[in-house]
Amino acid sequence: MNFNRGPNFKRCIKCPSADKQYSVHTQIRIDRQSQSSRVLTGSVADSPRISIRTMEAVLHESTFVGQSKDAAAVVKSNGVNGDSVNFSVKVNLNQEKTLICDDGTNGKMCQNTVDLEFQNISFRATQGNIFTKRTTKEILHQVGGRFQPGQLIAIMGPSGAGKSTLLDVLSGYRIRGVTGSVYVNGQPRSLKEFRKTSCYITQDDRLQPLLTVDENMWVAADLKLPSSVSNSNKRSIINNILKTLNLENTKKVRAAGLSGGQKKRLSIALELVNNPMVMFLDEPTTGLDSSSCSTCITLLKKLTMQGKTIICTIHQPSATLFAMFDQVYVVGNGYCLYQGSTNKLVPFLQDCGFPCPQYHNPADYVIELACIEHGPEKPEYMRDIIQNGQSYQYFNEPEKMKSTICNYPGPKPIKRVVSSDESSFPTSQFHQLGVLMRRGFIKAYRDKMLTYLRIGTNIIVGLMLGSLYWKAGSDGSKVLDNFNLLFAILLHHMMSTMMLTILTFPQEMSILIKEHFNRWYSLKMYYTSVTIVDIPVSVIGCFLFSLIIYYMTDQPNDKARFLIFFVTCMLVVLVAQGVGLTIGAYFDVVNGTFVGPTLMVPMMMFSGFGVRLRDLPTIMYYGSFTSYLRYGLEGVVQAVYGMDRGILQCPEDKFCFYKYPKTFLEIVDVRSDQFDNDIIALLLFLFVLRIAAYVVLRYKLASVR
């Protein structure tokens, strides 16, 4: 697509990407390469706004018709009023990838492409923990290479050779333990800027299973596209992507119901929303049949026609799949054994003295050579010939690969290619929060089984405890039984809430890691949305439980007392959820289910149940301040027996030692005037644990990298 500037040229289009508005101030010329090779020319008035879609490799038929002296006359033939001209141009992007962008350099040409080069990349992995001796192992050994735009690149090698590690390093997914240099368009890479124009697609398809394909796409569009993009433009982008990836017929299908190949294509579609120019895929064909593999690689090949740099690891492709790649990078034992064009791999092996047998798949043969089990001499010789990735002689056009770093005359540095907006995310934090909350409520509504279980469990347990302690709240002879009931109520809230969070939250971690790394949203907004979305179900369950248990056990018929009882129980639920979030953020499900119940023991020890706090040794007494169960128990006891409650009814045939509530409060060491302190303590626990969960979550995300 060429824009020929006239003598009154002021500026060209701004930031070439999907569905952006481009302003021109003079005559534009649009060359459309098609079968008829027609040239469509239009003269427009000052500052018309022209919307050009560049999402697909081959775009829609042009509807820009005829010539005219002003924009109004041009759009008249299309039935549109005003000075807004909407048209699409059919372009063969395989032949023409150049776009004009407004980079402040007096209208100079720049390209919306990314050239990736790396030198002396090494990676040392640290093994062990605080309980074992720490050791380091070098996975990559000063490898180098270069990946060009418009190329589909395969990183190959035996298992454990370092393929995924190299992909992680180049994408910026792994930064700890890495040495060496990565250059983008000839300049040192700024990781913050690079992440704005790249994406990482993991081997496992990390999708929201309860959302449909269309809903997943809308969430991605709402989060990854600026708020200035209209919903109609977002819909157009989504439809174009789904059409390109052959997912149009699955719009209303939930992600959980997709086939393996469809899930992989949806994973790719989600990251295409903001049109990244560099895509990293970790073994995209793993777990797919031959037909799905071919479809996936064909799709990736088609995307390179837009000038994208697509890099993927692949274990051992068939000869047909191998031929689809433009470039191959072979890794063996952490060294580069070959880099260059796919069709020059066989000549390279011939030059090394290891000719590929006739009718043998070159991909299989080079993997066999890379395995050191067959002897280290062959891989070492291949590494020396290719100079551990520093030699470019086996590219199709090696003369064009001689450009040196920092003297590369082609594309601008990545900082100039991406949007000039310096904000970390394309949307505001409040917008992210709204989208994430909407997604969370949809998931909660769709996951009816979990929602019904949470509410139903509270109802059933409430009925069971209410039946067991029937009318114990008003009977002076059952005060100790009622005290046991109050403690059981808090145990139920603490155990059920904490364990549910420990079991469910780690399942979201893999999706969070992927989406946060690809800059969908900030961690603060994700964490806030998780906290808010869970509140309605928690409140409903706790309220129904409190209502049932309070009146079945004949506690004081006082709305103020019930409100205090409910608020205390609700705070215990929220604090227990904070404990679960902290544990679930750090541990996996198996370890979390062990740590959670273990932490309950000191909570119960220092709660004041069974052993009075004043009877504890001095050192252990101070430990009671760390038990939120203590403050919860004091709160519900005061709701039932505090606030100057009168004498309890006592059956004539029984002796009621605790018929005076004040006497009971003195014995259990609960002061009737400290309810405010208990609520403040629970709120403090809630605040500290929520902050702790966020800090642990941030640490977990950082430790992964």
What pLDDT score does 479 carry? 87
pLDDT interval class at 112 (50, 70, 90): low
What pLDDT score does 240 carry? 92
DSSP at 564 = H
Domains of the chain, by residue range, sit at 1-112, 116-203+283-302+309-413, 206-278, 429-704
Asked whether residue 408 carries a pLDDT value surpassing 90, the answer given is no
Residue pLDDT, tens place only, 220-230: 999 999 988 99
Asked whether residue 88 carries a pLDDT value surpassing 50, the answer given is no
What pLDDT score does 234 carry? 93
Asked whether residue 660 carries a pLDDT value surpassing 70, the answer given is yes
Residue pLDDT, tens place only, 553-566: 989 988 999 999 99
Mean pLDDT score, 282-296: 87
Give the C-alpha separation, 66 to 68, whole Å: 7
pTM for the structure as a whole: 0.78
Residue pLDDT, tens place only, 1-11: 333 333 333 33
Cα-trace Rg, the chain: 33
Mean pLDDT score, 14-31: 34
Q: How many CB atoms lie within 10 A of CB 687?
A: 12
Give the C-alpha separation, 474 to 471, whole Å: 6
pLDDT interval class at 653 (50, 70, 90): confident
pLDDT interval class at 258 (50, 70, 90): very high
Mean pLDDT score, 521-530: 94
pLDDT interval class at 533 (50, 70, 90): very high
Give the C-alpha separation, 646 to 663, whole Å: 11
Mean pLDDT score, 674-698: 93
More confident residue, 105 or 468: 468
More confident residue, 682 or 618: 682
Mean pLDDT score, 675-679: 88
Residue pLDDT, tens place only, 48-58: 333 333 333 22
pLDDT interval class at 423 (50, 70, 90): low
The correct answer on CATH 3.40.50.300 for the domain covering 116-203+283-302+309-413 is: yes
| H helix or E strand, kind and range, residue 239 | helix 231-244
Write down the residue that tokens 């999706």 correspond to: 511
Residue pLDDT, tens place only, 127-186: 766 666 778 888 999 999 999 999 999 999 998 889 999 999 999 988 888 999 999 988
More confident residue, 609 or 397: 609
Asked whether residue 195 carries a pLDDT value surpassing 60, the answer given is yes
| Helix pair angle (559-586, 589-605), 10° resolution | 140
- CB-based contacts of 332: which residues, under 8 Å, 6+ apart? 157, 158, 161, 369, 370, 371, 372, 379, 382, 383
Mean pLDDT score, 650-666: 82
Give the C-alpha separation, 385 to 352, whole Å: 7
What pLDDT score does 10 carry? 31
Residue pLDDT, tens place only, 330-366: 999 899 999 999 999 999 999 988 898 888 899 999 9
- Among residues 228, 234, 231, 232, the alpha carbon closest in space to that of 274 is found at 234
Contact 455, 500 (CB under 8 A): no
Please give the structure tokens belonging to residue 632.
């919860």
Asked whether residue 116 carries a pLDDT value surpassing 90, the answer given is yes
What pLDDT score does 106 carry? 29
More confident residue, 647 or 458: 458
